[in-house]
Chain A
Amino acid sequence: EVVLTQSPATLSLSPGERATLSCRASQNVYTFLAWYQQKPGQAPRLLIYDASNRATGIPARFSGSGSGTDFTLTISSLEPEDSAVYYCQQRKSWPPITFGQGTRLEIK
């Protein structure tokens, strides 16, 4: 099973700042990595698939990069509504599909 480790656990930034979230895989997942955003009481929302492709309707301030075992989600200029928990998920080695434990992003 591929273990995904996200860091930091919590990130606190101000509007307009740049956020950098990390996801590290326990083995090579090539670029088969996705990112989701989850707000309280809501289902996860797909942001990025296959490391760097934005899902439909996702603002351009969200971008993904990386390959192999190290991946990054960048939010270029934070908005208040970006406050959420962000998860990575791999689809290279399944079953099982696995998720990271999440990074909580707080907007000051």
Chain B
Amino acid sequence: QLLLQESGPGLVRPSETLSLTCTVSGASISSTTYHWGWIRQTPGKGLEWIGSIYFTGGTYDSPSLKSRVTMSVDTSKNQFSLLLSSVTAADTGVYYCARPNVVEWVFDFWGRGIQVTVSS
């Protein structure tokens, strides 16, 4: 069974960079033809797709966040990561990593989510 777990700081100061990692267990991060995704849920915008990354490092980003998002993958650790720069209170919310299993861009497997608060 594929399991995903988000990790990272729960509190980030305004203007700093949010850094999250998703650890994959139950399968190799390289074993899929699908993209690994980051999705967040904020009070202001609800569910919002941040971006997705392939195990080779190719990425797709949301246009509204593109200038602030960096994603990477570490196949040796079976992990992929998200950096979101210049955060504000509007970035406060629950961040999920997820992956499709049947069709691309539809997410069957989700992590439990991690609450991130942007505050000084």
Contact = CB atoms under 8 A, between A and B. Distances in A.
A50 B103 contact: yes
A99 B47 contact: yes
Contacts of B106: 34, 46, 49-50, 89, 91
Interface stretch (B14-22, B23-31, B77-85, B109-117): B109-117
A87 B47 contact: yes
A94 B49 CA distance: 10
Given A96-B63, A96-B64, A44 B107 contact: yes
B51 to A, nearest CB: 8
A100 to B, nearest CB: 8
A43 B47 contact: no
Contact count band on A: 20 to 34
A66 to B, nearest CB: 16
A49 B42 CA distance: 24
B112 A43 contact: yes
Contacts, number: 58
A64 interface: no
Nearest to A96: B62
A34 B108 CA distance: 11
B104 interface: yes
A72 B103 CA distance: 20
B34 to A, nearest CB: 12
B96 interface: yes
Contact of B105 (A43, A55, A91): A91
A97 interface: yes
Interface of A: 1, 34, 42-46, 49-50, 53, 55-56, 87, 89, 91, 94-99, 101-102
Interface pairs A-B: 3 shortest CB-CB: A43-B110, A91-B105, A99-B47
28 contacts: A34-B106, A42-B112, A43-B96, A43-B110, A43-B111, A43-B112, A44-B96, A44-B107, A49-B102, A49-B106, A50-B106, A55-B102, A56-B101, A56-B108, A87-B46, A89-B47, A91-B103, A91-B104, A91-B105, A91-B106, A94-B105, A95-B63, A96-B62, A96-B63, A96-B64, A98-B49, A99-B46, A99-B47
